[in-house]
Structure formats: C-alpha cells, structure tokens
Amino acid sequence: MANRFCVNLTHAKDNPDKATVGFVIANAALGSGKETLVFLSIEGVRLAQKGYADDIREEGFAPLRELMDNFAKAGGTIYACSPCFKKRKLDENNLVPGATIVGGVKLVEFLSEGSPCVSY
C-alpha cells in the first residue's frame, strides 16, 4: 500500500463544493498517516493566495480556510502550478502556509515514486 496520497484540485470559487471536498479528502489522507500533497492547478491556484479562501463556506462542511489551516499544521504539502499562477497574475509573496510554487515536474516526481491521485 502506498504511503503517499495526492489530491489534484482544479477549482476555487468557481466550484467551492469541489474546492472544499478536495481538502476534506486531503485531510482524511493526512489523518490516515499518508504523506499528502494537494496540487493546485487551473482555477485551484487561487487557493494558494492568503485570504482568498476566507469566505468559502460550503454547507455541511467546515470552512475551507479552517480545512486548509489544519492541513498545513498537520504537515501537508501544497504545490501551486507555476504557469497557472503566472497566467492569473497572482502574488508569489502572499502564499498560504505550506504552499510552494512549482512546475509540473514536481507532480510527476511525486506520482512517479508511487502515489494514488484523486482529482476534483
């Protein structure tokens, strides 16, 4: 059984339900003892900006900000896709805790070393 888990998250406020569930599953993976990566791409990269997720609250779930804070505090890793980030002219100096801007190579390396991946 793989000791890693990846959540590929492509949505933010364009689909707050998916954005929220992505972090719920990521926290489930972390809680299960998996080294967990959330890869933010497409619209999902907006979640890497500090403050962006503060007003995302899906009924039936904890606020997204709280889910993301818990993920970072528990040692989860967040990668934000560099070209997606650049395209949206986001601020590299205003990242949420645990986030790093990377290119696709880092995702390829993580998955190539053996990891399931679920996409939202």
Partner 1 sequence: MSASIPAPRPADAHWDAGDLGCGDLVLELRVCLEAMRPGQILRLTARDLGAQADIPAWCRMTGHTLIAERHPTYHIRRKES
Residues that bind partner 1 (CB under 8 A): 79, 81-83, 85-86, 92, 100-106, 108-109, 112
Min. distance of Cβ 103 from partner 1 in angstroms?
A: 3
Min. distance of Cβ 19 from partner 1 in angstroms?
A: 22
Min. distance of Cβ 92 from partner 1 in angstroms?
A: 6
Neighbours of 62 (CB within 10 A): 15
Mapped onto helix, strand or coil, the DSSP state of residue 1 is coil
Strands (E), the chain: 4-9, 35-40, 77-81, 99-102, 117-119
* Residue 8, both tokens: 């590929």
Q: Cβ closer to partner 1: 50 or 57? A: 50
Q: Cβ closer to partner 1: 20 or 77? A: 77
Q: Cβ closer to partner 1: 27 or 52? A: 52
**Structural Rg of the chain based on CA atoms:** 13
Q: Cβ closer to partner 1: 75 or 103? A: 103
Q: Which of 15, 37, 53 is nearest to 102 (CA)?
A: 37
